[in-house]
Amino acid sequence: MKRKLILGLIIAIILATLPASTLAWGSATHAYLTEKLGNKEDVLNQQEMYGATLIDVFNFMFGVPYQPYLWTKTHYGFMTLVDAAEPEEAALAYGFVSHNEAWGADYTAHINALTLEGDKGYVITKGEELAPLLVSTIIASLEELLGAPLPDPLPPVYEELIGELSLGLAHIGIESAVDYLVSQNEDRKIGYKMLTSAQERDDSVPLLLSEAYAEGLAEATGMSLEVANGIIYETESEFQAQMISYGAALTQENALELLAEQGTELAIMILEAEHGIEVPSERYGEIFALVKNLMASTLLEAIEVVEDDYSEELEATQKYVKKQLNANKIKTYRQ
């Protein structure tokens, strides 16, 4: 049981940190970019900011077989939401589209960075740079969990797991590090703006999501339209709460610690949701503290990796996305 728990925990952290389709800019970064791109009127700007985070609404449906379908529909089928939006929802749709992976902000994070050499996204490139720096800390953490040293030399299966874990931690570390640096350097109020945009999002938002994606979800899965609508409503409500919590964390002086705590809570939740493995109550505090320390160490290393060039990439991304929005005739308001 002990080894099963450890193996499950490793896999859970990988899943928590490296969902196959979420290696992109963090929510605060998207909110910051969209604020710069869109309307300067406060009410519309809030709608744009929530819209920019909302495209990730289905990212964290771990263990749900139709999650990849919903992710693809939002990140590549984003015009479905634009077409469903009423004129008063155009600002939200503008923010939503600004995030997309085809030619929006996620393109530079995930597909092709604008200021780095190579043909990979900024988050991917920097994650690969960071990953080797995390291996020794990961090994020490696993040895502490096991209460014994790992074999030396490591068996291939251990090397593979640790390699995957280091890359997964590195990617989420880069994403969170850029969010944190944005909140410290570019806009000290971005966390507050995020939580406010989420708190004050219009009641029509889940209805708009359902109008855009529920029918397709029902057809793709065989579920009823009523069930599909319910899933979208519930998921958006949970996502809204996550954005409020994440934004609130970025407003605090101990923001890095809070980000590490949130990542740890997510990892342990996935351990149970994905693998049916519950952390024993007598070891919960120990395991939580250890994983939190690993997350915190990753964030500190990630900050060093990105701090010299992240702002240049964000500036280039902002200009690129603005050009793409104009070319695709996406406006923040409609008559």
Encode pLDDT of 178-208 as tens digits: 999 999 999 999 999 999 999 999 999 999 9
**Does residue 298 register a pLDDT over 60?**
yes
d(CA 243, CA 191): 9
Average pLDDT over residues 50-78: 93
Predicted local distance difference test score (pLDDT) of residue 164: 81
Which residue reads 């709460």 in tokens?
A: 241
Do residues 21 and 59 make contact, with C-beta atoms less than 8 angstroms apart?
A: yes
Predicted local distance difference test score (pLDDT) of residue 20: 43
**Does residue 148 register a pLDDT over 70?**
yes
**In which band, very low, low, confident or very high, does the pLDDT at 1 lie, cut at 50, 70 and 90?**
very low
Predicted local distance difference test score (pLDDT) of residue 251: 97
Average pLDDT over residues 67-73: 95
d(CA 176, CA 227): 34
Better-predicted residue by pLDDT, 243 or 150: 243
Residue type, 275: H
Predicted local distance difference test score (pLDDT) of residue 222: 97
Predicted local distance difference test score (pLDDT) of residue 332: 84
Do residues 89 and 54 make contact, with C-beta atoms less than 8 angstroms apart?
A: no
**In which band, very low, low, confident or very high, does the pLDDT at 7 lie, cut at 50, 70 and 90?**
low
**Does residue 309 register a pLDDT over 80?**
yes
Average pLDDT over the chain reads: 88
CA 302, chain centre distance (Å): 16
d(CA 261, CA 43): 32
Q: Where are the domains positioned within the chain?
A: 2-327
Do residues 13 and 267 make contact, with C-beta atoms less than 8 angstroms apart?
A: yes
Predicted local distance difference test score (pLDDT) of residue 101: 96
Average pLDDT over residues 42-69: 90
d(CA 313, CA 138): 29
Which residue reads 């899965």 in tokens?
A: 221
d(CA 18, CA 91): 30
In the chain, DSSP finds a helix count (H) and a strand count (E) of 15, 0
Q: Which of 126-135, 270-279, 325-334 is the least confident region?
A: 270-279
pLDDT tens, position by position, 218-228: 999 999 999 99
**Does residue 78 register a pLDDT over 80?**
yes
**In which band, very low, low, confident or very high, does the pLDDT at 256 lie, cut at 50, 70 and 90?**
very high
CA 183, chain centre distance (Å): 16
Predicted local distance difference test score (pLDDT) of residue 16: 47
Predicted local distance difference test score (pLDDT) of residue 19: 45
Secondary structure of residue 312 in the 3-state scheme? helix
Q: Which of 11-20, 133-142, 305-314 is the least confident region?
A: 11-20
CA 247, chain centre distance (Å): 13
Which residue reads 């809070």 in tokens?
A: 258
Q: Which of 20-29, 110-119, 222-231, 248-257 is the least confident region?
A: 20-29
Average pLDDT over residues 237-264: 94
What is the value of pTM for the model shown? 0.91
Looking at residue 148, the DSSP 8-state letter turns out to be S
